[in-house]
A = this chain, B = another copy of it.
Amino acid sequence: MEKIKISIEFCTLCHWTPRAVWMTQELLYTFQNDVAEVKLIPTDGGVFRISVDDEVVWDRKESGFPEPKAVKQKIRDVIDPKRSLGHSDK
């Protein structure tokens, strides 16, 4: 299967850089062998948005800030809906 490209856009004016970097580490840990790249994109306007191959899987403006578990489930559903995420599914 083609490896996925994840992007995380985040508002630097809101001081969400540490949060975006934390999410990056979580996603790299869980999807190390599935990921071609994780791209961090500083922006403004209260944006915190995560996409897989240009498809938005999480947008703070719709769903608030995610726990890593929720984002991992969304990404797993893109990659391989049958895969267990262990603790992240419980």
- Tell me the number of copies of this protein: 2
Closest chain B residue to A36, Cβ basis: B41
With contacts A37-B41, A40-B37, A40-B38 taken as known, whether A21 is within 8 angstroms of B28 at the C-beta atoms is yes
Which chain B residues lie closer than 8 Å to A40 at the CB level?
24, 28, 37-40
CB atoms of B35 and A38 under 8 A apart: no
Partner of A21, one of B25, B36, B37, B39: B25
A18 located at the interface, meaning its Cβ lies under 8 Å from any Cβ of chain B in the complex: yes
Whether the pair A39, B38 counts as a contact (CB closer than 8 A) is yes
Contact between chains at B42 and A32 (CB < 8 Å): yes
A interface residues, Cβ below 8 angstroms from B: 12, 17-18, 21, 24-25, 28-29, 32-33, 35-42
